[in-house]
């Protein structure tokens, strides 16, 4: 019965209504505000999203039931998460607008579709317009520079940038990092 309801025209209309209302709601809200219609919309599309996590307006979430986002994550507006395979994002993830994560692709010779899981660790920060492609695993405490295209695995504690993304610097974090949940803007 539940399967039938989730694939009925009425259910799709309800989802569309909640999406439109949640987009209007996002025009007057900030990441730490209570966003009720957005949360209902995420529940309806079955995305797994941790506590106090935020996804900005104009988000495209393809196959949202295969997307898992940790606690205290913040993803800027105009993001695209295409989950042809699972996409797992850790805690304290921070992404500027324009993030694209795509776990699908094509075989170069046959053009047959292929999909590989993407795993992103904790405390990862992505600059503007970052692209993360299928099969990539990104470690903890990583900074990805603006405009980077991540095509290969990234080790923990590094700064990567460029197209394709390359390690530019090691990061040695000794202090607690800034996150949405421990910032002054929560007061």
User: Which residues are identified as catalytic?
Assistant: 106
Q: How is residue 161 written in tokens?
A: 């940038």
Instruction: Calculate the CA dihedral of residues 48, 184, 182, 69 and round it to 10 degrees.
Output: 20
The count of other CB atoms within 10 Å of the CB of residue 95 is 24
Strands 113-115 and 104-106: antiparallel
Q: What is the C-alpha to C-alpha distance for residues 113 and 15, in angstroms, rounded to an integer?
A: 28
Closest CA to 146 of 79, 76, 99: 99
Q: What is the C-alpha to C-alpha distance for residues 48 and 32, in angstroms, rounded to an integer?
A: 18
Do residues 79 and 97 lie in contact, with contact meaning Cβ atoms separated by under 8 Å?
Answer: yes
């Amino acid at each position: 019965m539940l399967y039938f309801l989730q694939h009925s025209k009425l259910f799709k209309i309800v989802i569309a209504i909640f999406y439109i209302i949640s987009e209007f709601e996002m025009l007057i809200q900030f990441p730490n505000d209570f966003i009720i219609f957005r949360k209902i919309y995420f529940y309806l599309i079955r995305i797994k999203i941790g506590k106090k996590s935020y996804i900005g307006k104009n988000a495209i979430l393809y196959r949202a039931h295969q997307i898992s986002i940790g606690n205290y994550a913040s993803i800027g507006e105009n993001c695209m998460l295409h989950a042809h395979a699972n996409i797992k994002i850790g805690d304290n993830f921070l992404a500027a607008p324009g993030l694209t994560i795509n776990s699908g692709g094509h075989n170069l010779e046959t053009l047959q579709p292929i999909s590989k899981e993407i795993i992103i660790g904790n405390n990862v920060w992505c600059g503007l317009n970052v692209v993360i492609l299928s099969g990539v695993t990104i470690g903890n405490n990583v900074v990805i520079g603006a405009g980077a295209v991540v095509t290969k695995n990234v080790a923990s504690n590094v700064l990567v940038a460029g197209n394709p993304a390359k390690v530019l610097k090691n990061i040695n974090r000794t202090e607690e990092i800034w996150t949405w949940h421990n910032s002054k803007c929560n007061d």
